[in-house]
Amino acid sequence: MRNLAKVMYKPMRQQRDDETPEDVFYFVDFQRHNAEIASFHLDRILDFRRVPPVAGRQLNITGEVLHVTHNEDLRSVFFTSPANNTCFFAKCLYMCKTEYAVCGSPNHLEGSMSAYLPSLSMAPRVSIPNPWTRSYTFTGRQEWEDNPFYCDTVKQQPPYNSGNRLLNIIDMSIFDFLTGNMDRHHYEIFSNFGDEGFLLHLDNARGFGKHSHDEMSILAPLTQCCIIKRSTLLRLQLLAQSAFSLSDVMRESLQSDPLHPILTEPHISALDRRLHKVLSAVQQCVRRLGEDEVITNDFIKPTRYPRWKFDEAP
Ligand X SMILES: Nc1ncnc2c1ncn2[C@@H]1O[C@H](COP(=O)(O)OP(=O)(O)OP(=O)(O)O)[C@@H](O)[C@H]1O
Asked whether residue 117 is marked as a ligand-binding residue, the answer is yes
> Least separation, in Å, of the C-beta of 65 and Mn ion?
21
For Mn ion, which stretch binds (CB under 5 A), given 84-92, 124-132, 200-208, 264-272? 200-208
**Whole-angstrom distance, CA of residue 200 vs CA of residue 169:** 10
Interior/surface letters 109-122, b for 16+ CB within 10 angstroms, e for the rest:
bbbbbbeebeeeee
CA dist., res. 286 & res. 313, Å (int): 45
Q: Which is nearer to ligand X, 51 or 281 (CB)?
A: 51
173 is in an annotated binding site: no
**CA–CA gap between residue 196 and residue 159 (Å, rounded):** 9
102 binds, among ligand X, Mn ion, none (CB under 5 to 8 A by kind): none
According to the binding rule CB under 6 A, does residue 26 interact with ligand X? no
CB of 114 to ligand X, least distance (A): 4
Q: Any contact of residue 52 with ligand X (CB under 6 A)?
A: yes
User: Counting contacts by CB under 5 A, is residue 29 touching Mn ion?
Assistant: no
Q: How far apart are CA 156 and CA 150, in angstroms?
A: 11
∠ CA 6-261-246, rounded to 5°: 95
Q: Using alpha carbons, list the distances in angstroms from residue 192 to 129, 142, 150, 203, 262.
A: 18, 31, 29, 22, 35
**Least distance to ligand X, CB of residue 234, Å:** 28
State how beta strands 78-80 and 86-88 pair. Answer: antiparallel
- Cβ neighbours, 10 Å, residue 18: 12
Q: Say whether 152 counts as a known binding-site residue.
A: no
# binding residues, ligand X (CB under 6 A): 10
Is 114 annotated to bind a ligand? Reply is yes
| Contact range with Mn ion by CB under 5 A, out of 109-117, 203-211, 268-276, 291-299 | 203-211
CB of 124 to ligand X, least distance (A): 12
Is 150 known as a binding-site position?
no
161 bridge partner residues: none
Point out the catalytic residue in the list 183, 272, 292, 298: 183
Q: Does 240 bind ligand X (CB under 6 A)?
A: no
One residue of 117, 128, 286, 300 binding ligand X per CB under 6 A: 117
Q: Quick one: which of 203, 208, 222, 226 contacts Mn ion (CB under 5 A)? A: 203
Annotation marks residue 183 as catalytic = yes
From the list Mn ion, ligand X, none, pick the one residue 300 interacts with, judged by a Cβ distance below 5 to 8 Å according to partner type. Answer: none
Whether 37 and 262 have beta carbons less than 8 Å apart is answered as yes
Which residue, 102 or 240, is less far from Mn ion as judged by CB? 102
Q: Footprint of ligand X on residues 86-115 (CB under 6 A)? A: 114-115
How far is Cα 167 from Cα 185, in angstroms, rounded to an integer? 17
**Closest by CA position to 134, among listed 168, 193, 176, 71:** 176
261 binds, among Mn ion, ligand X, none (CB under 5 to 8 A by kind): none
Q: What is the Cα–Cα distance from 159 to 197, expressed in whole angstroms? A: 11
E-strand stretches of 12-171: 54-60, 78-80, 86-88, 102-103, 108-115, 125-129
Q: Which is nearer to ligand X, 188 or 272 (CB)?
A: 188
Question: What is the H or E stretch that residue 7 is in?
Answer: strand 7-11
* Range in contact with Mn ion (rule: CB under 5 A) among 14-22, 138-146, 196-204, 219-227: 196-204
Interface residues toward ligand X, by CB under 6 A = 8, 31, 52, 114-117, 188, 202-203
Residues near Mn ion (CB under 5 A) are: 203
What positions carry a catalytic annotation?
Answer: 183
